[in-house]
Each structure stands twice: as C-alpha cells, then as structure tokens.
Chain A
Amino acid sequence: MTFLRVAYIAVWVIQGSYLAILVRRYSRVRREMDELEGK
C-alpha cells in the first residue's frame, strides 16, 4: 500500500511541478509582452 501511495503522489508531484513551471513561464512571457506593448 505504501508503494502504491508513493507512486500516485510522485506522479502528481511531478505533473504539478511541471504545471507550476509552465504557469510561471506563461506569466513571465505575458509580463514581457505587456512591457513591449507599453513602450
């Protein structure tokens, strides 16, 4: 049961971390676009 729990948690930690990286990258690019539009 421990292995099962660890496996399922690991999957969602990896997916969640990647998703968080993407969201951060998206907000950075949006900010850069806003800066360029403001010029």
Chain B
Amino acid sequence: MKGRRGRPTQSRSMSRTFIILALLTALLLIYAAYAALVLAPTELTMGPVQRIFYYHAPSAWTAFLLFFINFIASVQYLVRPNESADRFAKWAAVAIGIIACIAAFVVPLPAGIEPSSVATTGIVITAAYFLIRRYFSEQGTDILALVTAEVGVVFCTIVLITGPLWARPVWGIWWTWDVRLTSTLVLWLIYVSYLMLRRFSTSGETPKLAAALAVFGALDMPLVYFSIWFFRTQHPQPVIGGGGSIDPRMLRVFAINCLAFTCYAGIICWFRYRIERMQRDVEETRALEALLEPRGAASGGAQ
C-alpha cells in the first residue's frame, strides 16, 4: 500500500491546510449564524420567521453549485475516452461562454434577469469546464461527480425542509404543487436516484450510466431556476438581482451565509473526495491481493 504511486501517505494524513481551512470555515459558520439570528434586521411583514431565508436561500445556491459541478464532471467522464467527443465538448464549452456573453447584451431578456448575470454564468461554465479538465483525471471526474451529487443532495434536502417550515406561517400551507417547488422536488429525486444507482448497481458500466443520468438530471436545473420568471408560482420572485429590493444589511448577512455555506460545502466535498479515493485504493489493493493469492497458495501447497 505504502509505495503504490506514492499517494496513500498523502491521502491518509489529514493535511494541515485542510484542518486550518476547516477551522476557518467553522468560525465563519458561527459568525454567519450569529449574523442571521442577531445582526440582520427583523423583516416587518413576516417577523422573525423570515430569518429562515438566511439558511434556505444559501442552501439552494450551494446545492445548485454542486449539481452544476456534478454536471460538468459527468460530461467530462463521458467524453474523455473518445478523442473527437472530447474535442467537441471543449469547443462547446468555449462556444457557450462566447454566446452567453454576446447574447446577454443583444437578446432582450425577461424582466429581472441582468445581462451581466447571463454573461457571468456563461464565463463560469467555460472556466469550470477547463478547470475541472485541468485538475482532475478521468477517474477524478467520476469521484468528483459522486461527491458533489451526495453533498448536493444534503443541501437540497435542507432546502426542501426549511422551505415548508417558512411557508407554513407565511403562506398558511406547508406545500403547494407549483412549478418551483415541484421541480425542486424532482431535482432532489433525480439526484437521490443517481446516488442509489451508484450505491446498488453492480454493473461495471455504473459510472457511465450514472454520468448519463446526471447529464439528463441537470436539465431540470434551469427549469427550477427560471420557473419563477416564466410561470405563475406561489414562490416569490427573487429579491436579489431581480425586480425586488432588499435592505443592504439583509443583503450583507445573506452574502456572509452564502460564503459560509459554499466554504462548508467545499470542505465537506474535499473530505468526502479523500474518503472515496482511499476506499478505491483499498478495493484496488484487495483485488490485486485476490489475484495473487491463489498463485501463492498453490506454490505454498507444492512445497
């Protein structure tokens, strides 16, 4: 184990960087909770229950970010073995960035969607594609997809629990089958099925099947996000970047919580990624031992 590719020593010991970042994230989370419960002003109409917003919306943002990374990693896992598909995907990623930047300022957008947001999204898609391609091997993209789906489901679960807890005192109902809520539930179900596929399928093609499912599952993300613009929903319009307005102090607390949740998700993903790598190392070593054992036993028996 020790000498194999020189990796176990590195992956076994919890690096100092990880511990420092984890501690900083814990401090940030404590401060973010304090800001949400104490520093943020109380909303006049809803009262204290509005403070659920500081956990609900950042959790949704984090889940989206993780599912987005899962999508990019899944695409790469599918295209990398095929050179022409890989080249096509690379150019498609560049084209998405360029088209988004041009279209944002040329095509008329629905009220509430800023051209700069569209352009930034396009650039982020291209940048994320090339960053993941640069830093993750084919096996690495598979692990990254699994990890981000798992952590994303945890954050999406929080969205689905805190949402009804906020809706009950404000709307008078726990749940309604409108497009935003239903599509979020569908998104959660898609990624839960993705995790179940990975957990229970014994086929050697499981990572490929899961990657294909993730690519189709990601199609639900734009529906969740844009549903409040294109359909009449019970869910309110966004107050940030949309037509609404928000108190600057509330905005600051929201930004702190978004940052804290993103850092926390990053740390958790890092930890989970490391566990998965170690697990695969163990399985690989066991498989190698199983291959060598009969020969050793046979030579032992001959003596």
Option from B2, B55, B169 in Cβ contact (under 8 Å) with A3: B169
Q: Which chain B residues (150-197) contact chain A, with CB distance < 8 Å?
A: 154, 157-158, 161-162, 165-166, 168-169
Instruction: Flag if A15 contacts B48 (CB, 8 Å).
Output: no
The verdict on B279 contacting chain A, using a C-beta distance below 8 Å, is yes
Q: How many residues of B contact A (CB 8 A)?
A: 35
Instruction: Flag if B271 contacts A11 (CB, 8 Å).
Output: no
Option from A3, A10, A22 in Cβ contact (under 8 Å) with B271: A22
Option from A11, A18, A36 in Cβ contact (under 8 Å) with B1: A36
Instruction: Flag if B12 contacts A1 (CB, 8 Å).
Output: no
Among residues of A, the one whose C-beta sits closest to the C-beta of B154 is: A18
CA distance A10 to B163 in the complex (A): 12
Shortest CB distance A33–B (Å): 6
Interface size class of A (residues with CB under 8 A): 20 to 34
Collect the chain B residues with CB atoms within 8 Å of residue A30's CB: 12, 278
Assuming the A-B contacts A4-B51, A8-B33, A11-B59, are A25 and B275 also in contact, with contact meaning beta carbons closer than 8 angstroms in the complex? yes
Q: Which chain B residues (71-125) contact chain A, with CB distance < 8 Å?
A: none
Instruction: Flag if A37 contacts B1 (CB, 8 Å).
Output: yes
CA distance A1 to B278 in the complex (A): 44
The verdict on B249 contacting chain A, using a C-beta distance below 8 Å, is no
Q: Which chain A residues (13-33) contact chain B, with CB distance < 8 Å?
A: 14-15, 18-19, 22, 25-26, 29-30, 32-33
Collect the chain A residues with CB atoms within 8 Å of residue B282's CB: 29, 32-33, 36
The verdict on B286 contacting chain A, using a C-beta distance below 8 Å, is yes
CA distance A14 to B264 in the complex (A): 14
Assuming the A-B contacts A22-B271, A29-B279, are A8 and B55 also in contact, with contact meaning beta carbons closer than 8 angstroms in the complex? yes
Task: Scan B44-76; emit 1 where CB is below 8 A from any A CB, else 0.
Answer: 000011011001100100000000000000000
Collect the chain B residues with CB atoms within 8 Å of residue A8's CB: 33, 37, 52, 55
The verdict on B235 contacting chain A, using a C-beta distance below 8 Å, is no
Assuming the A-B contacts A14-B161, A22-B271, A36-B1, are A29 and B166 also in contact, with contact meaning beta carbons closer than 8 angstroms in the complex? no
Instruction: Flag if A3 contacts B166 (CB, 8 Å).
Output: yes
Among residues of A, the one whose C-beta sits closest to the C-beta of B151 is: A18
Q: Interface of B with A (CB < 8 Å)?
A: 1-2, 8, 12, 33, 37, 48-49, 51-52, 55-56, 59, 154, 157-158, 161-162, 165-166, 168-169, 264, 268, 271-272, 274-275, 278-279, 281-282, 285-286, 289
Question: What are 30 A-B contacts with C-beta separation under 8 Å?
Answer: A1-B48, A3-B49, A3-B52, A3-B168, A4-B48, A4-B52, A6-B165, A8-B37, A8-B52, A8-B55, A10-B161, A10-B165, A11-B55, A11-B162, A14-B157, A14-B161, A15-B154, A15-B158, A15-B264, A22-B272, A26-B271, A26-B275, A26-B278, A29-B282, A33-B8, A33-B12, A33-B278, A33-B281, A36-B1, A39-B289
Q: Interface of A with B (CB < 8 Å)?
A: 1, 3-4, 6-8, 10-11, 14-15, 18-19, 22, 25-26, 29-30, 32-33, 36-37, 39
